[in-house]
Amino acid sequence: MTGVRYALVVVLLVLGVLDSFSLAANVTYDHRALVIDGKRRVLVSGSIHYPRSTPEMWPDLIQKSKDGGLDVIETYVFWNLHEPVRNQYDFEGRKDLVKFVKLVGAAGLYVHIRIGPYVCAEWNYGGFPVWLHFVPGIKFRTDNEPFKAEMKRFTAKIVDVLKQEKLYASQGGPVILSQIENEYGNVQSSYGSAAKSYIQWAATMATSLNTGVPWVMCNQPDAPDPIINTCNGFYCDQFTPNSKNKPKIWTENWTGWFLSFGGASPYRPVEDLAYAVARFYQNGGTLQNYYMYHGGTNFGRTTGGPFISTSYDYDAPIDEYGLVRQPNWGHLREVHEAIKMCEEALVSTEPAVSSLGQNLEATVYKSGSQCCAFLANVDTQSDATVTFNGNTYHLPAWSVSILPDCKNVVLNTAKINSVTMRPSFSNQPLKVDASASEAFDSGWGWIDEPVGISKANSFAKLGLSEQINTTADQSDYLWYSLSTDIKGDEPFLENGTETVLHVESLGHALHVFINKKLAGSGRGGKGNSKVSLEIPITLVPGKNTIDLLSLTVGLQHYGAFFETKGAGVTGVKLESQKNGITVDISSGQWTYQIGLKGEDLGLSSGSSSQWLSQPSLPKNKPLTWYKTTFDAPDGSDPVALDFTGFGKGEAWINGQSIGRYWPSYIASGHCTAYCNYRGAYRSSKCLKNCDKPSQTLYHVPQSWLKPTGNTLVLFEEIGSDPTRLSFASKQIESVCAHVSESHPPPVDMWSSDTKLQKSGPVLSLECPSPNQIISSIKFASFGTPLGTCGSFSQGQCSSQNALSTVQKACIGSKSCSVQVSIKAFGDPCRGKTKSLAVEASCE
């Protein structure tokens, strides 16, 4: 969205011109529907977390959600974002919850506010502010008076903020649901009898705030009335609410999974996602929500974990950069259209369920003249042909067909009509502007971060301190420093033998410096954050310093008593390699420094006068700050910084942190070239990018960039060459489609008119940008083509005129449609089901 258009939307919103919810609405429910102002509804929802994108991105994300068939936008509210210091609130910029909710309402969509205030969300400390940990006598998420007082105060604050702006449906606003607590049922047993009284208190507290809309608790089987208990998971079709008076709601349908540093990239086939959605509504579902519909980016130090990556793409229908991910977005849009064709029947009656054979079932909703049927094949391997109402239907394994008139198939979840888009990143060098070139010979300035203690507010203490209690998460970094005098007669230094330094840490990573030189490093991983190092070192006669830089990579965000999970160094020993004598120095006099000197100097803004340019740019040097000034990359495509070849650190553009980078952490896991959508999905089922850096590309919002004079600051922990940094623009390289003779026509062509149904399947292509046209056809085959977008090949048979037919229909147009039939292409192989596969380029 252009800056002018965005500004116009905001101005109109402020004036109230776009307010679609001017009249108060009564929101209630029963076992089959949410009832909004007397209208019974089946709803489709998607999660967009406002701080994981920018206000400039919000209108476009919301519009794409609406165009994708959503009725509701769901978001968490992040306590530590809004109240970083007790009683000091922040609702500016990416934290502007009210603006986000108003924009959603202006688009004509509803909002589900998940206040929590525990949110999980792979967010730092589960959304809790770290100061909460230091409230005297507090225990999180249990029947504890200090915790309940703080939780009630913040929840009431958010409700009041929304009420003041009249954003609840009961006031004429778009908010139709609110959530209290979050997935507590997963950990409830760990809290004993106090858990039940806590949940009862939370329910009573929430309803006492008089929002005028229903409250929900997810994964909470004992949610007290009138709270609606809801389901989270990859599948929720078998979920049953704890009361016959409550609707069946799926608050988190996981569209993929989160990425961790050191992990491969998870993805979920859209055929399986569509199957899960259709099964949910087939079995009486009222509202399902995609978690995530747009995942976005973990800017700054907001990631939880530990080890959650900066990207929070989540394989969502709208990708991290705000582009629709195809075919996911398009195929799910067709699923939503098919479900909405059935809405009147779904909310009006109980279903009639019958078996069509082993692992085959029909579910029929019939009310008056309305009739809708779902035909499901839940087998994980075998396709089937079934007879229903006297007609024959083909059901691929692990699929659902939807029949809005109980006769004609509008959609099968395993058969994709939507276009597929193959993205690519185009790199361009960082354009260092003239001012940087004049100031620094290389275009870059630098400042060394001192090793060890360099700040006046350091302090000494006997023994090793736990890191989070020491830093209160003011910084990722904590220095542990010890000086020792070596006389030469120490038992672990007999005959000048080399010494081994043993360091144990709760995590998350550690750099060891001996006499100001890097001796070794270690890191934990997503399964075990602990670090254990054994480093051969050389100590010299006289004074020696041992400096340990311990660092966190996002605080624990999940699990019972997660606030007690510590970090930092727990043990340090010196051992002689010759005689095995060990000396434990853990209890010595250690000096501590919270954070880096560069952080205190505000180097991330780039404004310091201390940047160096001579004698030459240091490269591959640990603990170095770098700065340059650059011009924005060419074009308007979404952009990222490409950190390939870098170590670990954090980056800021014009003072705003794009997050932690860590391309030196290589992904482990078992990746396969193909992932079968059939059968139950799990987060480790479909992985890509094994044995490569978990993340090399880091999103830079276009709104953060100026045409010229942008300041980029890096803090590099391990060592790299900053001149290798480049921008990468995300573009669509190809558009593809692959449609068979057995596909139903596109949903928007559907009609109960039998003549229209006999029109047959259609392959459609469309360029992603309004100003683009189809410039060439890279591949076209009608017959038995093989492969996927970008790697199509001809099978055993192919029509000779496929390429020319598609070229004639498509080249020069923004979009085109081609009938998939032997009438259009001839019959290259009689007796076989044929398909048409096409790959095209747009310019």
Q: Which residues are catalytic?
A: 183, 252
Residue burial 599-620, b: 16+ Cβ < 10 Å; e: rest:
bebebbebebeebebeeebebe
Question: Which ranges constitute the DSSP H helices of 234-363?
Answer: 270-282, 328-341, 343-346
Q: Tokens representing 675?
A: 């992932």
Q: Tokens representing 553?
A: 């990579």
Strand partners, 546: 482, 514
With the C-alpha atoms ordered 628, 633, 638, 644, is the resulting torsion angle positive or negative?
A: negative
Query: Closest by alpha carbon to 80, among 128, 124, 113, 126?
Result: 128
- The SS3 call for residue 685 is coil
Segment 388-391 long-range contacts (CB within 8 Å, at least 24 positions apart):
388/356, 388/362
Please report, as a single letter, which amino acid is at residue 45.
S
Phi and psi, residue 780, nearest 5°: -155, 130
Question: Which ranges constitute the DSSP H helices of 447-529?
Answer: 467-471
User: Are the C-beta atoms of residues 515 and 540 closer than 8 Å to each other?
Assistant: yes
In sequence order, the 6+-apart residues with CB closer than 8 A to the CB of 279 are 235, 237, 376, 378, 400
User: Are the C-beta atoms of residues 41 and 34 closer than 8 Å to each other?
Assistant: yes
Q: Tokens representing 215?
A: 């409250």
With the C-alpha atoms ordered 299, 305, 311, 317, is the resulting torsion angle positive or negative?
A: negative
Dist. CA 750–CA 338, nearest whole Å: 9
Q: Tokens representing 742?
A: 């057995």
Q: What is the DSSP letter of 187?
A: T
How many CB atoms are closer than 10 A to CB 446? 22
How many CB atoms are closer than 10 A to CB 761? 21
Q: Tokens representing 836?
A: 């048409």
In sequence order, the 6+-apart residues with CB closer than 8 A to the CB of 680 are 234, 235, 380
Dist. CA 211–CA 203, nearest whole Å: 13
